[in-house]
């Protein structure tokens, strides 16, 4: 096998292993927060943000789950599968993020961690937003590397909706925003102006 084909083959194997690990409880019963997620997702799109006002949760996951339920139903297996797909998608995105920073070997290590991480395995079988948030966080990291560190304009622009989607999925993504700023200031101080312009775009879109 050529070196060029090694990484794709390894990713296929890792996704297969992850699929095996993350489907054992796919049809398991729902617990209360999962039931709440499904209940909220059954409401009309225009009503979902208002339902979350008292809860304080952002609406992105519930809006996506609403569409998913319309297509595939609201059974345990169906709603867990949405999270499973994001869990599997974390593996190649982790590879690309790691490779962008330190090379292919690091990318493969990151993919291995994403495939075997017990938290990602657990939340891949739960009808909650955490697996989507993990996926979006990895997308944000990759876009930050390409857009801020590498100075590529298209990726800097793409970073804006990626961060906003993460924040609209879970409030804890705000900590990721702080981490990105600190990382930019520490390792790419000459890119702070670019980061600041991107942050303005994030704030405007978020509002």
Average pLDDT over residues 2-14: 87
pLDDT score for 92:
98
* CA dihedral of 65, 35, 169, 97, whole degrees rounded to 10: -80
pLDDT score for 2:
63
Tens digit of each residue's pLDDT (9 = 90 or more) over 62-86: 999 999 999 999 999 999 999 999 9
pTM score, whole prediction: 0.95
Tens digit of each residue's pLDDT (9 = 90 or more) over 93-147: 999 999 999 999 999 999 999 999 999 999 999 999 999 999 999 999 999 999 9
Taking all residues of the chain, what is their mean pLDDT, rounded to a whole number? Answer: 95
Helix segments in the chain, DSSP class H: 3-21, 32-41, 48-51, 60-72, 76-102, 104-116, 118-123, 130-144, 153-169, 173-187, 192-206
Spell 49-70 as b/e; 16+ CB within 10 A means b. eeeeeeeebbbbbbbbbbebbe
């Amino acid at each position: 096998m050529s070196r060029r084909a090694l990484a794709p083959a390894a990713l296929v194997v890792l996704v297969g292993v992850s699929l095996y690990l993350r489907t054992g409880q796919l049809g398991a019963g729902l617990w209360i927060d999962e039931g709440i997620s499904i209940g909220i997702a059954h409401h009309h799109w225009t009503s979902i943000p208002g339902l979350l006002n008292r809860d304080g949760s952002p609406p992105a996951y519930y809006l996506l789950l609403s569409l998913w339920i319309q297509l595939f139903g609201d059974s345990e297996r169906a709603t867990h599968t949405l999270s499973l797909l994001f869990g599997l998608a974390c593996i190649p995105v982790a590879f690309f993020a790691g490779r962008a920073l330190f090379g292919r070997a690091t990318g493969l290590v990151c993919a291995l961690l994403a495939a075997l991480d017990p938290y990602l395995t657990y939340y891949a079988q739960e009808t909650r937003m955490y697996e989507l948030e993990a996926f979006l966080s990895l997308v944000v990291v990759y876009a930050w590397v390409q857009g801020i560190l590498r100075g590529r304009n298209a990726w800097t622009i793409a970073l804006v909706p990626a961060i906003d989607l993460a924040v609209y999925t879970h409030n804890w993504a705000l900590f990721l925003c702080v981490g990105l700023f600190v990382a930019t200031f520490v390792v790419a101080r000459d890119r702070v102006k670019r980061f600041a312009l991107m942050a303005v775009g994030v704030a405007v879109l978020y509002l």
